[in-house]
């Protein structure tokens, strides 16, 4: 096995010299007076909507997104998720579920307002076709196959026969042809 001469590799060991390392002063902040924070914290943005905050942080960031405040069932799930730690996988699972619920709530809201949602466009079908034709074809075939299976299963006649009605139907013609 041959040894690699690291001196011939460009960039190898660039962080070995503390005098040439831009992050080096921040590694030992305990001796610094300002601990690296030598700027005034901006004023916290006041919003007119609810902003959810992690239990791991003692204050909100200066700027927060307020374009989509938590609402409806998805908002309830988000509020429950933010009562859990970010290190808990269930926190993230609940947030992903809330995202899916929010999509369904948006479709229902569109239908309630009389708008027909363009679901293929919202799912990025055009971009999928342009950049991932093989994946698009596989997904389309899978969806068509599942749809055909579901339609076939729902259209199949129910072959279960109720014995009481079958017996009554068999006797009725005989009784009506009997002349007294």
Residue 61 falls within a domain, yes or no? no
The three-class DSSP label of residue 143 is helix
Q: Are residues 109 and 146 both part of a single domain?
A: no
To 5 degrees, how large is the angle CA 18–CA 19–CA 24? 50
Q: Are residues 129 and 149 both part of a single domain?
A: yes
Domain limits for position 146? 122-156
- Who wins on pLDDT, 55 or 162? 55
Q: Are residues 104 and 126 both part of a single domain?
A: no
Q: What does pTM read for this prediction?
A: 0.53
Token pair 């009554």 is found at 168
Lowest mean pLDDT among 10-24, 92-106, 163-177: 163-177
Number of domain units in the chain: 2
DSSP string, 96-118: HHHHHHHHHHHHHHHHHTTPPP-
Q: Encode pLDDT of 36-54 as tens digits.
A: 566 777 888 888 889 898 8
In angstroms, the Cα distances linking 54 to 58, 69, 88, 97, 105 are: 8, 15, 12, 17, 24
Residue among 78, 118, 72 nearest 97 (CA): 78
Q: Are residues 75 and 113 both part of a single domain?
A: yes
The CA distance from 171 to 180, in Å, is 17
């Amino acid at each position: 096995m041959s040894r690699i001469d690291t001196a011939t590799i460009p960039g190898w060991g660039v962080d070995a010299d503390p005098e040439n390392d831009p992050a080096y002063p921040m590694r030992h902040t305990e001796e610094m007076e300002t601990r690296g924070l030598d700027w005034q914290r901006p004023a916290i943005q006041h919003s007119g909507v609810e902003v959810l905050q992690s239990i791991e942080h003692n204050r909100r960031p200066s700027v927060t997104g307020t374009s989509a405040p938590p609402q409806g069932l998805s908002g309830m799930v988000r509020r429950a998720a933010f009562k859990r730690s970010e290190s808990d996988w269930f926190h993230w699972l609940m947030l992903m579920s809330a995202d899916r619920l929010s999509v369904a709530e948006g479709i229902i809201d569109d239908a309630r307002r009389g708008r027909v949602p363009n679901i293929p466009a919202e799912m990025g079908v055009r971009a999928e076709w342009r950049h991932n034709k093989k994946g698009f074809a596989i997904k389309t075939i899978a969806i068509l196959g599942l749809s055909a299976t579901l339609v076939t299963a729902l259209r199949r006649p129910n072959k279960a026969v109720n014995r009481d009605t079958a017996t009554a139907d068999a006797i009725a013609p005989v009784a009506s042809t009997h002349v007294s």
